[in-house]
């Protein structure tokens, strides 16, 4: 029988030659600067001018390295309005016209979750770099094909979320690496609200609370504890129909209530839960909420994240030496969840690498599809994918 070693400080540090306090973007990588369409700025074409696009457009517009080149939506009025509001010179009602139209470098995909894979593939085929909202593909195999296509075409592919770029994530990763929690044992994270009412895709096949909400906790916990080796899950539907603005009543066919157990190896287990039926006394959209949404426990300490991992504002840490919770990483920072497209534009322009990788995003896609399979079959599902971990800026 194989001996299972506990994940201790030395084991953790072996993976990480150099630790850095400042984790924003990595140093100039081997990938270095990639070919852009000529100008100093990265030209962005954004598809899907719905709810989330308002946050993205505002963030992109503030970046000195970005030029907004075109907007596209199958609801043409939305693309036109976005173009008017943000002074974007071109707008299109279809991806074919967008790709054949005004040139751009980076395709930003903010469409329905079920559309991402198909549209990302089309953009990669056209030689565009891609930033995609989650998920970047509907399955691990399809996502790996997209990554292969990106390599063939000499372009890059990345997907949301960017939670591993926050200073609170950096503090937690560093605290684990320094062994302050002792031998790690368990972690838990939770994220839910009462569900969106503006689009039906959240509730139909390919949608659900996992790819919309659970994806953040899965990214954060695998980012902190390492890739999952196996997954067991249960999912359910609590609310069978939903009223959607402009559509009336739709039948819910994707889970709206999910719980996943992950085995990270070395005896370390974690649990995440997500759902569209969660009353919360905390304002969902506010970054001021102070409740603990994620906790990691070891033999010498425990730490909890205050606020959601997509809008974190502090980490509370208690150890054997300091057994009352002390607050850390609570300084104001410019981290916001909608920074992904701007960050990858910066990477394309400068050659710097972010901490989030497409391999990590695809590992999370595999966990989410495995969760559905585990619910269907009652089985524990082994994971095939992995990603480079731990997530530190490597200055070696
Ligand atoms: N809304 C949020 O607060 C939020 C936050 C983070 C991430 N997200 C993610 O962003 C994505 C979009 O969510 P949303 O809330 O903005 O949805 P939305 O319905 O408000 O917007 C999606 C837009 O995409 C357009 N669209 C769909 N298919 C298209 C296609 N084939 N070609 C062109 N346009 C197309 C729709 O017409 C719509 O305008 C989802 O993956 C969601 O999980 C949303």
Least confident of 159-163, 254-258, 380-384, 389-393: 389-393
Please tell me the residue having the least CA distance from ligand 1 atom 39: 50
Q: Are residues 209 and 320 in the same domain?
A: yes
- Report the phi/psi class of residue 309: left, alpha or beta, with left for phi > 0 and alpha for psi in -120 to 50: alpha
- Cβ 338 under 6 angstroms from ligand 1: no
- Do 228 and 362 lie in a common domain? yes
Q: Under a CB-based contact definition with an 8 Å cutoff, are residues 219 and 172 in contact?
A: no
Give mean pLDDT, residues 153-161.
98
Determine the Cα–Cα distance for residues 265 and 111; give it in Å rounded to an integer: 36
Domain annotation covers residue 287 = yes
**Residue 51 Cβ contacting ligand 1 at under 6 Å:** yes
CB of residue 200 inside a 6 A radius of ligand 1: no
pLDDT of residue 2: 32
Interval 15-26: pLDDT, tens = 332 222 223 455
- Whole-number mean pLDDT of the chain? 90
Q: Give residue 385's pLDDT.
A: 98
In the chain, what are the helix, strand and coil shares in percent, each to the nearest 5? 35, 25, 45
Percentage of residues of the chain with pLDDT beyond 70? 87
Crossing angle (nearest 10°) for helices 116-125 and 140-153: 20
Nearest-5° Cα angle at 92, 91 to 94:
155
pLDDT for 26? 54
More confident residue, 392 or 165: 165
Helix axes 53-62, 340-350, angle to 10 degrees: 40
> Which residue, by CA, sits nearest to atom 9 of ligand 1?
133
Structure confidence at residue 285 as a pLDDT band (50, 70, 90): low
Taking the CA of residue 310 as reference, the ligand 1 atom at the shortest distance is: 6
Confidence of residue 286 (pLDDT cuts 50, 70, 90): low
Whether ligand 1 lies within 6 angstroms of the CB of 339 is answered as no
340 domain residue, yes or no: no
Do 316 and 213 have their domain in common? yes
Full residue range of the structural domain in which residue 173 is found: 9-18+164-333+355-382
Report yes or no on 360 lying in a domain. yes
* Residue 342 CA to ligand 1 centre (angstroms): 18
Answer whether residue 30 is part of any domain: no
d(CA 129, CA 118): 15
Q: Which of 74, 98, 107, 112 to mutate to test the pocket of ligand 1 (most atoms within 8 A of CB)?
A: 112
Structural domain contains residue 345: no
- What's the CA-to-centroid distance between 112 and ligand 1, angstroms? 4
């Amino acid at each position: 029988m194989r001996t299972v070693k506990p994940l201790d400080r030395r084991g953790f540090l072996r993976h990480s030659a150099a630790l850095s306090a400042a984790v924003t973007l990595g140093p100039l990588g081997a990938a270095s600067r990639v070919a852009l369409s000529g100008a100093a700025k990265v030209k962005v074409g954004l598809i899907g001018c719905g709810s989330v696009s308002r946050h993205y457009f505002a963030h992109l517009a503030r970046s000195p390295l970005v030029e907004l080149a075109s907007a596209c939506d199958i609801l043409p009025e939305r693309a036109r309005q976005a173009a008017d509001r943000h002074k974007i010179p071109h707008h299109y009602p279809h991806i074919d016209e967008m790709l054949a139209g005004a040139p751009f470098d980076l395709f930003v995909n903010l469409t329905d979750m079920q559309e991402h894979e198909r549209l990302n593939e089309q953009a990669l085929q056209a030689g565009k770099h891609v930033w995609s909202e989650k998920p970047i593909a509907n399955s691990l195999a399809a996502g790996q094909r997209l990554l292969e296509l990106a390599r063939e075409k000499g372009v890059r592919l990345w997907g949301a979320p960017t939670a591993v770029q926050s200073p609170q994530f950096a503090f937690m990763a560093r605290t684990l690496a320094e062994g302050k929690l002792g031998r790690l044992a368990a972690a838990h994270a939770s994220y839910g609200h009462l569900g969106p009412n503006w689009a039906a895709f959240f509730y139909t096949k390919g949608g659900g609370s996992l790819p919309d909400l659970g994806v953040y906790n899965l990214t954060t916990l695998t980012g902190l504890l390492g890739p999952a080796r196996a997954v067991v899950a249960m999912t359910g539907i609590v609310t069978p129909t939903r009223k959607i603005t402009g559509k009336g009543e739709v039948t819910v066919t994707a889970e709206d209530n999910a719980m996943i157990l992950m085995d990270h190896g070395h005896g370390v287990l974690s649990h995440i839960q997500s759902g569209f039926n969660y009353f919360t006394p905390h304002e969902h959209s506010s970054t001021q909420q102070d409740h603990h949404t994620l906790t990691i426990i070891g033999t010498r300490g425990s730490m909890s994240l205050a606020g959601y991992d997509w809008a974190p504002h502090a980490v509370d840490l208690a150890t054997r030496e300091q057994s009352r919770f002390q607050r850390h990483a609570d300084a104001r920072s410019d981290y916001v969840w909608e920074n992904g497209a701007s960050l990858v534009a910066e990477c394309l322009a400068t050659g710097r690498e972010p901490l989030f990788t497409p391999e990590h995003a695809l590992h999370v896609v595999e966990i989410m599809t495995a969760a559905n399979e585990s619910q269907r079959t009652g089985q524990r599902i082994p994971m095939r994918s992995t990603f480079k971990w731990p997530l530190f800026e490597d200055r070696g």
